[in-house]
Structure formats: structure tokens, C-alpha cells
Amino acid sequence: MKTGLLFGIVANSKTRVRCVFCGVYIPKATKCIEEHTNGMKHKETIDLMSENGMSYYNDDELYCKPCNVYLSEEDSVASHLEGEEHANWIAAMDDLIEGEFINIDAYLATESEDVFCEVCNTKVTCTLQNIEEHVNDILHRSNVAEKLKPLNGIFPVENDDELWCKVCDEYIENTARSLLDHIDDDKQHVEWFMDIEDLIEGQEVSIQDYLKNEHEKNAYCNKCQMQILCNSQSIEEHVNSEAHFNQFS
Ligand SMILES: [Zn+2]
Ligand SMILES: [Zn+2]
Ligand SMILES: [Zn+2]
Ligand SMILES: [Zn+2]
Ligand SMILES: [Zn+2]
């Protein structure tokens, strides 16, 4: 987004100008305008626009792409974002794309009309309906399942009918549906991840290799540069040990 000194500033009367983004009036003096456009609030407002699909149109209008509305003069970026319509759209979209590997940043920065699906390597025109269809599509579901396997300790087995979960030491049916059910809803599986992630948070301990490599038994402490048996007891002992605590990273 271009951000010249007068970006967002329009003439209002002989004595004052208006910042379209912040919805405030400023005395018509270079010093005052500079003070505003270099200020925190103005910069934060511009950041908010590029996180919410809002752009400056024809040098005097604010346009919100998700809501497909031009804001009136009484509106500011902040007042629009607080409104129900916009908040509902964002909430619905967050809900749809959570855990789906869909990147919406370029759309929200108003650089693209599309979102990008990282697992299907494809663009989808950004409407709630299109994205809902996409995330429920069978090809997308199986691409998500493929992506999640190495992050979840799931491995193929010789008979193609089943998959093996290393974390639970359990066999599951080899379908995207049963894999995703296992990852999202299996109590043992979910609790294992909650426990371990809780323990390693901020501790520089990595379990990626353990999850990705079928025969790897260890987690790795990057701080101490050593392996730790990958179970919650060993990891708990390690991260609470004095050696780990005193290690300089
Ligand atoms: Zn402003
Ligand atoms: Zn909006
Ligand atoms: Zn997809
Ligand atoms: Zn499991
Ligand atoms: Zn350590």
C-alpha cells in the first residue's frame, strides 16, 4: 500500500482536513497533518485496513471488499471493523479456514481476489460460499490428510487399507475421513499432543523428527543439543532439569 504524507487525507473545509481512515478532523496546517500521519493511531489504522480487506478508493472513499461496501463519511476504519456485518464475515471465514492450510493474507491486503490453498496448490475466488465448497471437496480433504500425516506421526503400512499412528500405536482405516477423525477427535491422540506441546512450549524442544520419521524414538533439545526419549515423562524431567535450565542457548 502506498503511504505518502497525504495518503488518506482529504480537504474538508477552509480550515481543516479529514483523515478518511481514522475518521478525524485535523487543522489544515502541514505540521498538524504530519503529526497525524506520522502518529501511532494513523499507522495502526492503515495496518488494520490491510488485515481486513479495506482499501482506499478514488482518493476519497474507503472500500471494504469482504462486505462489498463503500463507507460513508461518518464511518472510520475502526467503526466499520466494529460493525456486525464485518465482524460476522471475519468470524465465518476464520471458522471455515481454520486448520485448512488456506492463506487469505493477500486477499485481506487487497492484493488479490483469491485465497490460496496451500495443500491443493490452487487459487480459490474469495467468497464464503466458494471456500466452503472448497474445504468440503473430497480432493481438498485428502490433500489436508496427506499434509497432516507427517505432523501427526501417521505412517502407511504394508497393506494399503490401514495407517499406523505412532503416537497411539494404533491402526486406523486408510481414508481421509478416518485419519482426520483420529487427528481431531481421538482422545488419546489429542491428549498426547496437548500434554507434549504444553511441556515443550518455549523450551526449544522439537518433536518434528519424532513425528516425521517412523523409527525415530527421540525428541531433540536444541538448547542442550541432546536427544530425549519422546514421551511426556522424559520430556517433563528434561525441561525441569537444572542442566536444561542452566544451559545457555
Ligand atoms: Zn489517520
Ligand atoms: Zn467490512
Ligand atoms: Zn484445497
Ligand atoms: Zn494417534
Ligand atoms: Zn535441554
CA distance 147 to 38: 43
> Distance, CA 42 to ligand 5 centroid (Å)?
44
Over residues 122-138, mean pLDDT: 96
- Beta-ladder partners of 206: 220
pLDDT of residue 1: 47
Q: Taking residues 66-92, report their average pLDDT.
A: 94
> Which residues have C-beta under 5 Å from ligand 5, the single-atom ion?
221, 223-224, 244
Query: pLDDT (tens digit, 9 = 90+) per residue, 162-209?
Result: 999 999 999 999 998 899 999 999 999 999 999 999 999 999 999 999
Residue 2 has pLDDT above 80, yes or no: no
Which ligand approaches the C-alpha of residue 187 most closely?
4
For the residues 221-247, what does the mean pLDDT come to? 95
CA of 69 to the centre of ligand 4 (A): 46
- Average pLDDT score over the chain: 93
State the amino acid at position 1 in one-letter form.
Answer: M
22 closest CA partner among 62, 69, 78: 78
- pLDDT band at 86, cuts 50/70/90? very high
Judged by DSSP in three states, 169 sits in coil
Residues whose beta carbons lie less than 5 angstroms from ion ligand 1: 19, 21-22, 42
Confidence of residue 74 (pLDDT cuts 50, 70, 90): confident
pLDDT for residue 5? 62
Of 177 and 86, more confident: 86
Looking only at the bridges linking them, the beta strands covering 9-11 and 162-165 are unpaired
Q: Residue 133 to residues 99, 138, 139, 141: CA-CA distances in angstroms?
A: 15, 10, 11, 11
9 contacts 19 by C-beta, under 8 angstroms: yes
Q: Write out the residues surrounding ion ligand 2, Cβ under 5 A.
A: 64, 66-67, 86
Separation CA 211–CA 196 (nearest Å): 12
Give me the mean pLDDT over the 113-137 stretch.
Answer: 97
Q: Are the beta carbons of 5 and 17 closer than 8 angstroms?
A: no
Q: What is the mean pLDDT of residues 37-47?
A: 94
Distance from residue 9's CA to the centre of ligand 1 (Å): 8
Please state, in angstroms and rounded to a whole number, the distance separating the CA atoms of residues 6 and 59. Answer: 10
Q: How many angstroms does the Cα of residue 56 sit away from the middle of ligand 1?
A: 12
Alpha helices, DSSP H, located in 21-136: 30-37, 40-50, 77-82, 84-97, 105-108, 128-136
In this prediction, what percent of the chain has a pLDDT beyond 70? 98
C-alpha 98 to ligand 3 mean position (Å): 12
**Quick one: 185 exposed, middle or buried, by C-beta within 10 A (0-12, 13-18, 19+)?**
exposed
How many Å lie between the centroid of ligand 5 and the Cα of residue 220?
8
Cα 120 to ligand 2 centroid, rounded to whole Å: 28
Span from the CA of 46 to the centroid of ligand 1 (angstroms): 8
End-to-end CA distance of the chain: give it in Å, rounded.
39
Cell of 123: 487459487
The radius of gyration of the chain's CA atoms, rounded to the nearest angstrom, is 25
Taking residues 71-87, what's their average pLDDT?
A: 93
Give the per-residue pLDDT at 165. Answer: 97
- Find the ligand nearest to 70 CA: 2
Residue 235 CA to ligand 5 centre (angstroms): 9
